Structure 1
Amino acid sequence: MFLIIFTLVIVLLALLYKWSVANYQIFEQRGVPYAKPTPLLGNIGLKELFGAAPHFSRQIQEHREFRDSKVYGFFFLRDPIFVVRDLELIKTVGIKEFDHFPNHVGTEQIKTLLSKSLLRLKDREWREMRYILSPTFTGIKMRAMYELINVCSEVGVAYIEQQLKESPSDGIELEMKDYFTRFTNDVIASAAFGIKVNSFEEKDNKFFQIGQTVTKVKTVVVLKAILYTFIPRLMKALRVSILDETTVNYFRSLVFDAIKYRVEHKIIRPDMIHLLMEAQRKANDADSGKKFSDDDLLAQCLLFFAAGFETVSTCLCFFTYELCMNPAVQKQLYNEIQSVEQQLQGKPLDYDTLMHMKYMDMVVSEVLRKWPPASRTDRGCNADIDLRDENNQVVVSLKQGDRIFIPIMGLHYDPEHFPEPEEFRPERFSDENKHEIKQFTYLPFGVGPRNCIGNRMALMEVKSMIYHLLSKFELLPAQKTTKDMMGDILGFQMVPKNKFWIKYVARKTDKNSN
């Protein structure tokens, strides 16, 4: 009996091994260089997968190791990924041959409400939804929404001012991920959902608590996603859900109760719900076949919540970190803020003034270069195509179903594109220098028609908050501030293990400082 069981175990292990490496010949067959994968894990280490080892620094190193290759191979678990690092090929994938690469790569087996969101929609459905939503993010719409965001910035600054008054010393040390998460929570509550929340005073309000369940990537969620990749049929049969239904139902009630109340009382408020209501009305009044359902509307709300929440808070964390570590940059940006204050002559800051601050824009651009919201973007190939270089030579033949990565982090840290890339230099983006930046080397919001639709809103939030913070406080390194940010980031989330600690000191009265 023992012998039979032992034999069965050996056979099962052999079958598992064969299955785990079944796709590992594809790059060799296509003539694409690649790093040797580990069975089942591919080129992802187990510690890296579960957030216990550096991930982004490995991407940068990998990009440099294959610097002589226009395309190289990478295995995410069992899945082969074609990484396109050549600029001409990135242009081909992102723009010139967009019809061959119109969709993001997704786990098709995982069906949730977010499958209806702009990020996950494919082909014609994506085109129709993008057309419907594009007017929502114009400069005019952002200008109308600015005041809601500006108020949240002022509330966040008032919180630090109060903490400084209560502090016995001349400064306070704050953990910025928590701070900016509360700020973005309040922005989304106000500018997206039309509700007033102060997460600095009411730290455990329901909207904030629910938001944490949406944005925090827990180990159990990672495990579910991995199991959907390996055993999709069983996971579907067991009806395992990625999204928490309690969270979905909360947002469903929040959104549609607000819509019902506004319709009944004829309330117009320049926030995301109103803009989506308008988009839904116009789409459903049109003669086109596409209808904008309530689930479509809710899916976009959830997407804007999850994406805006994490992207903006993380960007602000890196922004304040770079300011405290680069005092000369901070001083120059503060001088620009002072100059704007003089121009305003006591009037409140407005959208147009904020968005035309040149040095502010340079610093934001450099923050997004060093710390892009996504380390890579992806595309799926929907029809066979030969990728050709600038000399019309075939680099690689792609097949329908192949997956492509564009390595944003690798491009941003490539010394051929950005000399001494580890250095923080806003001057790279000055009027005198920015023409030297090659097209398709700087992709903080993606590339081509599937770039980030909400980037204007994100930039408005970031600039508004930094303006108000820097006008009131000097940012200094705290005792816990990490000296090696890249080495301190583990796993796939852009959060260092020691978090983001900054010391805030109140500035002297501005009237006397000049």
Structure 2
Amino acid sequence: MWWIMVAVAVLAVGYWLLIRPHRYWLEKGVKQGTPGFILGDNWGTVLQKQSLAEMVMMVYNACPNTRYSGFYQFLLPTLLLKDPDLIKQITVKDFDHFLDHRNFIPEDSDPLWGKNLFALSGKKWREMRTTLSPAFTSSKMKYMFTLISQNGEQFVKYFLKNDENFITVEMKDVFTRFTNDAIANTAFGVECDSLRDRENEFYLMGKEATNFNGFWKNLRFFGYMFVPKLFKFLRITMFSKEVSEFFKNVVKSNIQSREKHGLLRPDMIHLLLEARKNGLKHEETEPLQDTGFATVAESEVNKNPKNTKAEITDEDITSQGLIFFFAGFEAVSSLMCFMSHELAVNPDVQTRLIQEVDETLEACEGKLTYESLLSMKYLDMVVSETLRKWPNAVGVDRVCTKPYTIEAKYPDEKPIHLEKNDIVWLPIFGIHRDPQHYPEPERFDPERFNDENKVNIKPYTYLPFGSGPRNCIGSRFALLETKALFSYILSHFEFVPVEKTQIPLVLSRKSMHLVAEKGFWLGLKRRSRI
């Protein structure tokens, strides 16, 4: 009889640990889909049967006509927010209940990861966001435009010197090289030319720092997710020692050189050194001209009313520079890849955009300026629609930092009581592909964002850079970088499909990022001049 008791005990423990967690939302009266055993709703991505975007669409559509629904990241219950008013309520009005992102890695386990703005929580996040916020205003973007423009001209000159009328290019490769050079220049004060010097140390270290493919990198993520204390005890870090030391030395030597020789550069290191020395504060009024429709406004809670000095260490500066690499290598370069693909397969859109670029450059006598770049309405429409169809992040989370109740609104609802550390999720990819918000969501149509139509877009249904005080601080930088590069490219080339171009584009199921299954292969066709 003893073995029967053991078997019953094992089954009971197994049910309690592995099956009952997937009933969490049902017991709270929240509708949910059908999570897979242990893997939850991540079963498709883990087994490489779905891309991450497909998983988001699956959970978004699992419970139609609901303001929210439940899904599971493995065994972790997560509340999916679908209603725009509810998203506003949680991310803006009641932000003080949802301050943080879920962070897998403790700060003391890997300071370079744990100190970046995305990973910080609570008071530390507030202090760093308030400190960094003035460095990302419109006026500061104009300050950095000179450096971004230099990299854009450098990029185009490389292809012009090939003296070929048609060049086949894998866009992800060349765009990551551009974003590497732009971020090295604007964040670290280092000049690179990664198209010519393809094995330069900065590019190789940046690529290593942002590469999260492969078994061991995934093991680190899952290890910190399920056994964080063990990984902390084993001193397993996200960044290799080589990467950490390289970036620390770059920042340290750069700061020493500036202080010794009194050098000034319009870059992030300079702005952060100013914040450390004299403090930064938001301008009283921001310029009316901004980087575009997709730009997220900075919340008042993030603004520093006084230019008080901030306690910023060299390690803090290095950490913020590294988060730029994450944004640049993946998010911004991916935006550029999808935009170039959409222009190639929608030649009517590209023709109209080229006309605007030509007219703008003619008006400013061939020299692109900050003001002229931001005056291009159709360029902004194209970028905005690219971010609608292919958002930088398929979803973003918030952690409940103190108990909160979502009150019932309809007869089939009841109050949902969220406890501290519960997770809510904004399914950005699903919202952007919802036909209720965007008719024919698979169609690439920049006209959605013309002056007449964009005013009818319901607030909180367009979230390429997140929502509320915890939105992406670098939205202006990403948009400026993208618009500048495409203006330079289209003044000399047009994007065209080639034999290796995948039409229609299919997302890879082997990557946690939004990337094309067969790469972003396109042709750069030199424009004829009359």
Compute the TM-score of the two structures, normalised by the length of structure 1. Answer: 0.92
The answer on 1:375 being equivalent to 2:398 is no
Structure 1 window deviating more from structure 2 (480-489 vs 312-321): it is: 480-489
The answer on 1:67 being equivalent to 2:64 is yes
Aligned position for 1:365: 384
Compared CA separation, residues 284 and 10, structure 1 to 2 (3 A)? farther
Compared CA separation, residues 388 and 455, structure 1 to 2 (3 A)? same
Aligned position for 1:227: 223
The answer on 1:21 being equivalent to 2:35 is no
Compared CA separation, residues 188 and 208, structure 1 to 2 (3 A)? same
Cα offsets for 1:51-90 (capped at 9, x unmatched): 5632212322432332211111111011110001011110
Aligned position for 2:463: 443
Give the residue type in structure 2 aligned to 1:301. Answer: G
- Picking from 347, 359, 374, the partner of 1:327 is 347
The answer on 1:253 being equivalent to 2:249 is yes
CA distance in 1, matches of 2:229, 2:5: 28
The answer on 1:485 being equivalent to 2:502 is no
1:129 positional shift: 1.1
Contact 1:280/1:297 (8 A) holds in 2: no
Cα offsets for 1:222-263 (capped at 9, x unmatched): 112112222222222222222212101100000010000000
Relative to total residues, which structure has the larger helix share, 1 or 2? 1
Contact 2:79/2:424 (8 A) holds in 1: yes
Aligned position for 1:153: 152
- Picking from 201, 206, 211, the partner of 1:206 is 201
Compared CA separation, residues 315 and 243, structure 1 to 2 (3 A)? same
Contact 2:277/2:309 (8 A) holds in 1: no
CA distance in 2, matches of 1:148, 1:287: 26
Cα offsets for 1:101-124 (capped at 9, x unmatched): 111122254732221111111122
CA distance in 2, matches of 1:253, 1:207: 12
Compared CA separation, residues 8 and 351, structure 1 to 2 (3 A)? farther
Aligned position for 1:356: 375
Aligned position for 1:403: 423
Structure 1 window deviating more from structure 2 (310-319 vs 420-429): it is: 310-319
Give the residue type in structure 2 aligned to 1:172. Answer: I
Aligned position for 2:141: 142
Aligned position for 2:328: 308
Alignment of 1:260-275 (within 5 A): 260-275=256-271
Give the residue type in structure 1 aligned to 2:375. Answer: H
SS in structure 1 of the partner of residue 451 of structure 2: coil
Alignment of 1:228-243 (within 5 A): 228-243=224-239
1:484 positional shift: 2.6
Contact 2:279/2:309 (8 A) holds in 1: no
Give the residue type in structure 1 aligned to 2:77. Answer: P
- Picking from 47, 51, 54, the partner of 1:57 is 54
CA distance in 1, matches of 2:313, 2:80: 37
Give the residue type in structure 2 aligned to 1:31. Answer: G
CA distance in 2, matches of 1:5, 1:200: 67
- Picking from 76, 79, 83, the partner of 2:76 is 79
SS in structure 1 of the partner of residue 362 of structure 2: helix
Cα offsets for 1:192-220 (capped at 9, x unmatched): 11111111111000001101111111221
SS in structure 1 of the partner of residue 420 of structure 2: coil
Aligned position for 2:289: none
Structure 1 window deviating more from structure 2 (365-374 vs 130-139): it is: 130-139
Give the residue type in structure 2 aligned to 1:133. Answer: L
Compared CA separation, residues 458 and 263, structure 1 to 2 (3 A)? same
Aligned position for 1:92: 89
Compared CA separation, residues 459 and 229, structure 1 to 2 (3 A)? same
1:7 positional shift: 11
CA distance in 1, matches of 2:4, 2:175: 56
Aligned position for 2:435: 415
Contact 1:91/1:440 (8 A) holds in 2: yes
1:18 positional shift: 4.1
CA distance in 1, matches of 2:280, 2:184: 26
1:307 positional shift: 1.8
Cα offsets for 1:347-385 (capped at 9, x unmatched): x10111101110000000000001111011110111222
SS in structure 1 of the partner of residue 250 of structure 2: helix
Aligned length: 501
SS in structure 1 of the partner of residue 361 of structure 2: helix
1:490 positional shift: 4.4
1:19 positional shift: 2.1
Across the aligned residues of Structure 1 and Structure 2, the Cα RMSD in angstroms comes to 2.5
CA distance in 2, matches of 1:400, 1:465: 44
1:125 positional shift: 1.5
SS in structure 2 of the partner of residue 274 of structure 1: helix
- Picking from 481, 497, 519, the partner of 1:499 is 519
1:14 positional shift: 7.3
Aligned position for 1:192: 187
Contact 2:505/2:516 (8 A) holds in 1: yes
Compared CA separation, residues 291 and 6, structure 1 to 2 (3 A)? farther
1:387 positional shift: 1.3
Aligned position for 1:466: 486
1:386 positional shift: 1.5
Contact 1:74/1:80 (8 A) holds in 2: yes
1:185 positional shift: 0.8
Compared CA separation, residues 501 and 386, structure 1 to 2 (3 A)? same
Give the residue type in structure 1 aligned to 2:192. Answer: V
SS in structure 1 of the partner of residue 455 of structure 2: helix
CA distance in 2, matches of 1:284, 1:474: 42
Cα offsets for 1:404-424 (capped at 9, x unmatched): 001110100000000000000
Contact 1:54/1:488 (8 A) holds in 2: yes
Contact 1:362/1:427 (8 A) holds in 2: yes
Aligned position for 2:292: none
1:337 positional shift: 0.8
1:309 positional shift: 2.6
Structure 1 window deviating more from structure 2 (359-368 vs 231-240): it is: 231-240
Cα offsets for 1:138-193 (capped at 9, x unmatched): 11111121111111111111122233x2x5xx412100000101111111111111
CA distance in 2, matches of 1:290, 1:160: 43
- Picking from 339, 351, 364, the partner of 2:359 is 339
CA distance in 2, matches of 1:336, 1:480: 29
The answer on 1:277 being equivalent to 2:273 is yes
1:293 positional shift: 2.4
Compared CA separation, residues 387 and 11, structure 1 to 2 (3 A)? closer
Contact 1:189/1:196 (8 A) holds in 2: yes
